[in-house]
A and B are shown apart, each in its own frame.
Chain A
C-alpha cells in the first residue's frame, strides 16, 4: 500500500449529473496530481497542486472540471454535467516536492457515465 487513497473506488452516474471524487495523498507530500486513464492508454495529466495552490491545468480539463485542495491536504475533483466521454479511471498521485521525485499513485476512481 503506497498510502494514497481515493474515494469512491467506483462511480456509476447518469449523463448530466455531477460527481465528486476525493484523494488523500501521503501525509508529508506537498505535490498532488490528477490523471485520467482510458482503456489501453497511459495516464493523461489533468492538473496538479503544490500545497493548496493549483499550478497547472491541462487543456483536457474543460470548464466542467474543477479541482481543489483547500488546506493543502486532501483534494477533490468535480465533474459537472457529466458526459459519456468522461468515463475513465481517474488517478491521483502525490510526491514529496516535485515531479522529479517519485509519484505514488492511488488506486483510482473508475467513473462510468451511462
Chain B
C-alpha cells in the first residue's frame, strides 16, 4: 500500500521568511496530493492540492510542486505570517482505491 513520508517534523521560521515542507510517496499509482492545515484542537482543512497532470500549482502565498519521477512533492509558503503556525499534513491518493494516506505532519512555528 501507499506510504507517505514527511519532513521535517518541526520547522521554525522567522516571520516573513519562506517555509518548505517535503514529502515522498511510494505508490506510483497515486495521482492526487492534497495538503491539509490543522490548528490546535481543530479539524484538518484543505489548503491546496495538486493532481499528477501538473507539476506546480500556486494560490497566493502557497505553492505546491510535484515530481512524479522522483515521487516527491513539496509545499512552499512565502512571506510567512503568525497565522501560518499550525500542523501541516501532506497526503496522497489514487483513483485505484480511493483513500487518502496522510504523512505524519510538520509542526510549523512562525517566530516574531
B102 touches A42 (CB 8 A): yes
A56 touches B104 (CB 8 A): no
* Complex Cα spacing A105 to B91, Å: 14
Q: Which residues of A contact B104 (CB under 8 A)?
A: 40-42
Q: Which residues of A contact B93 (CB under 8 A)?
A: 99-100
Q: Which of B31, B34, B42, B95 is A102 in contact with, Cβ under 8 Å?
A: B34
B46 touches A98 (CB 8 A): no
Closest Cβ of chain A: how far from B49's Cβ, in Å? 7
* Complex Cα spacing A9 to B42, Å: 11
Instruction: Give the interface centre of B45, B46, B98, B101 by most chain A CB atoms within 10 Å.
Output: B98
B34 touches A108 (CB 8 A): no
- Given known pairs A41-B105, A42-B103, A43-B89, the reply for A99 and B98 (CB within 8 Å) is yes
A42 touches B89 (CB 8 A): yes
Instruction: Give the interface centre of A98, A99, A107 by most chain B CB atoms within 10 Å.
Output: A99
Closest Cβ of chain B: how far from A54's Cβ, in Å? 13
Number of interface residues of B (CB under 8 A): 24
A103 touches B46 (CB 8 A): yes
B99 touches A45 (CB 8 A): yes
A45 touches B100 (CB 8 A): yes
Q: Is B97 on the interface with A (CB-CB < 8 A)?
A: yes
* Complex Cα spacing A74 to B91, Å: 25
Closest Cβ of chain A: how far from B44's Cβ, in Å? 5
* Complex Cα spacing A9 to B57, Å: 35
Q: Is A21 on the interface with B (CB-CB < 8 A)?
A: no
- Given known pairs A105-B44, A107-B43, the reply for A98 and B95 (CB within 8 Å) is yes
* Complex Cα spacing A45 to B104, Å: 13
Known: A33-B99, A42-B89, A42-B105. 11 other contacts (CB 8 A): A2-B43, A2-B45, A31-B98, A44-B102, A45-B99, A48-B98, A98-B98, A99-B100, A100-B95, A103-B100, A106-B43
Q: Could you jot down 9 A-B contacts, CB within 8 Å?
A: A2-B45, A40-B104, A42-B6, A42-B91, A43-B89, A43-B102, A44-B102, A99-B93, A99-B99
By a beta-carbon cutoff of 8 Å, the part of chain A in contact with chain B is 2, 31, 33, 40-45, 48, 55-56, 91, 98-100, 102-108
